Amino acid sequence: MKKTVSKFSILVTGYVILIMAWFVSWLVVGDANWWLVLVNRLVPYLFIPVPILLFWSIRSRKYRDIVLLLIPALIFVWLYRPYVFPKNLQSGSSDGQLRVMTYNVLFSNFDYDAVANIVLVYEPDLVALQEVKPEMMDALKDRLAGKYPYSVFGTENDYGTTTVFSKSPLDVSYILDLQADRPAVVVKTKVHGRNVTFASLHLLAYNLWWTKLKDIPEVVMQRTANQNRQAKILLNDLEKDDGIVIVGCDCNSYETSGSYRILEQSMESAARKVGWLLNKNELPNAKQDVVLQHIDHIWFRGEVEPVRMYKIKDDGGSDHLPVLAIFDFR
């Protein structure tokens, strides 16, 4: 029995050391190495052993192991605290609300009616779409014309491009070259009398299943560098806007990625700001967006406060679920 317990304690100690080594590496160097990039995409799974090891430590009354396992438990809580501690946010503002959707529609999706229906059902003020092809753009402009007469289509891409639809007239619109893959589409408009800058962003995907094993290290580092450059170009462009700024993004990277940390320098994630709510879900066929990792993000800054964050259960024929954020004006 003593031998088994000793091996268990060695296992616990080794696991805790590995978690601490990863955490320090992530804090200090982030995505500096290709293998760290891949590990950083799997972070929640690194903590799966914690409850299992804790259970056996408590059952065996191994207090040293229990104390050691509190270290990865606290790291997990620190990383994902918006989804650990529930809260109760009141929705509604006397100045009105801003509803924003981001949705990767999938370049090979031909169910234009389904995509248009999702937008019309949830009626966001502003819509950021990704992977839109010219034929889908034409179809959506026709189907959404009654409520969304204003739109901008990004530079054409074989796998679809970024697009913005708006209920309100556009004061300014332009296509921002991100020097990798698809551009960003940026518009400026007014919602309830407030100036809003809104962008649709699609960062470069890793798509490693198409990469030879020997090429993975180089490809991972190149695509990480491209993602980071895209994020920096967008932030530099948006720096001149002092008011409300919202970005709908298929970022192809999680909260532990380098591009996320770049965007986080001057913007906030609506999903993490809202976190886990005790409030009852208020939208039909939608669920609270409480997953620990996202690639579809809504970023914001300025005089707005996100009060609800939803994933729409209907994918409209895409491989992504639409994401809807509701903001109160401050």
pLDDT in tens, 239-269: 988 899 999 999 999 999 999 999 999 999 9
The 3-state secondary structure of 177-244, one letter per residue: CCCCCCCEEEEEEEECCEEEEEEEEECCCCCHHHCCHHHHHHHHHHHHHHHHHHHHHHHHHHCCCCCE
Nearest-Å Rg of the Cα atoms of the chain is 22
By percentage, how much of the chain surpasses pLDDT 70? 97
287 pLDDT exceeds 70? yes
pTM of the model: 0.92
